[in-house]
Amino acid sequence: LSEHGISNLDELDASLSSVSDKAYSIREGMKTAEERMKKLQKLIEYGKNYTEYKPIHDELKKLQNGWTNKRDKYEEAHRAELTLWSAASRYLHANLPKETKTLPIAEWEQEYY
Distance CA 2, CA 112 (A): 44
Residues 6+ apart with CB under 8 A from 101: none
Residue 92 near residue 46 (C-beta atoms within 8 A): yes
Whole-prediction pTM:
0.78
Residues with pLDDT less than 70, the chain: 66-67
Which pLDDT does position 66 carry in this prediction? 67
Q: Which domain holds residue 29?
A: 2-112
- The count of residues in the chain is 113
Q: What percent of the chain has pLDDT over 70?
A: 97
CA angle 95, 97, 102 (to 5 degrees): 95
Split into its structural domains, the chain has a count of 1
